[in-house]
Amino acid sequence: MVRYFFNVRGHDTFDPDNEGWEFPDHAAAIRGGEAAAKDMVMEAVYGDGAIDSLQIEVVAADGELIAVVPLKSVIRV
């Protein structure tokens, strides 16, 4: 298992994930990042928050950027 971090970035904000999550591979970590993005969208809807510029950066323990998941990309209407 490899540790991955889901950092949250916006236009003027950066919230690093200091704990991370373990996944077997990059593909599983990306799916985890997408699930985290969906959770954040639901929280924003319930809390009247904005998601305009927010994205999750999926980063491997070695610092490699694996994927960027914009929160808007997980909304299906």
- Ranking 27-31, 32-36, 71-75 by mean pLDDT, the lowest is 71-75
| Per-chain mean pLDDT for the chain | 93
- Per-residue pLDDT at 14 exceeds 90: yes
pLDDT at site 70: 96
**Do residues 25 and 19 lie in contact, with contact meaning Cβ atoms separated by under 8 Å?**
no
CA–CA distance, 59 with 30 (Å, rounded to integer):
9
Stated pTM of the model: 0.90
At 53, is the secondary structure helix, strand, or coil?
coil
